[in-house]
Amino acid sequence: MKIVAIVPAAGQGLRLGESIPKAFVRVGSRTMLELSVRALLDSGVVDQVVVSVPAELVDEAAALVPDATVVTGGAERADSVRAGVEKAPDASYYLVHDAARALTPPSLIRRVVDELHAGQQAVVPALPVADTVKTVNAQGDVTDTLDRSQLRAIQTPQGFEADLLRKAYEPTQLGDKTTDDAGLVEKIGGTVRTIDGDPMAFKVTTQMDLRIARALVSE
């Protein structure tokens, strides 16, 4: 029952706006890449970690996370995940976990794996949405107000039976710009179970998020 964690870390971090790719930005003394890999290994339930990084940073990543397997990522997040999946074809289960969720607690990783062991084929952490969510048209006029009680914000790690994720990532999906692995599984008819997410698994996307992450680490 081999559990392989794929860590997409090949993004440029355009919204963060630092001079280096986001996963290589430090939160406290460690890079987000190191923190994410460490949490996965500390969970005690992951057998192998595969990280997807920009081509020019493969050597640097290998030095930062010597316990992980490093592969070259792609132009879209889906390409980076696919590269990781192909590097570990012998997995029974995959966890896909954004490097940018640097403060994710090992306890959340264990809870995702617990659900896989209990027989779920796909598992995602989910949090209630605090803000009201509306849809708008091109001019910015509101077209609908969604029922918040039915909405969830989805985090990672997302856990999958290996065959199901491989099928979701088959070449027919190439060029897919999805940023959500479970979304691909939904498209091929898979059942995706939510579990309670963890606020600490928030994604560092903007400078505000980075300030929050650094403040939390220095606490």
Binding of ligand CTP at residue 11 (CB under 6 A)? yes
The b-or-e profile of 116-136 (16+ CB within 10 A means b, else e) is beeebbbbbbbbeeeeeeeee
Give me the least distance between CB of 198 and ligand CTP, in Å please.
Answer: 17
Region of 9-17, 80-88, 103-111, 130-138 interacting with Mg ion (CB under 5 A) = 9-17
Contacts of 111 (CB under 8 A, 6+ apart): 125, 195, 196
Answer yes or no whether residue 22 interacts with ligand CTP by CB under 6 A.
yes
Choose among 121, 195, 125, 190: nearest CA to 161.
121
Closest distance between ligand CTP and the C-beta of residue 96, in Å?
Answer: 9
Contacts (CB under 6 A) with ligand CTP, residues 86-125: 98-100
Phi/psi-derived region of residue 28, left when phi > 0, alpha when psi is between -120 and 50, beta in every other case: left
Q: How far is the CB of 150 from Mg ion (least distance, A)?
A: 26
Find the binder of ligand CTP among 42, 62, 74, 209 (CB under 6 A): 74
Contacts to ligand CTP from residues 174-193, by CB under 6 A: none
Residue closest to 50 by CA, chosen among 60, 65, 35: 65
Q: Pick from Mg ion, ligand CTP, none: which does 8 bind, CB < 5 to 8 A by kind?
A: ligand CTP
Our CA angle for 97, 101, 204, nearest 5°, is: 140
Give the footprint of ligand CTP on this chain (CB under 6 A): 8-15, 22-23, 52, 73-77, 80, 98-100, 203, 205
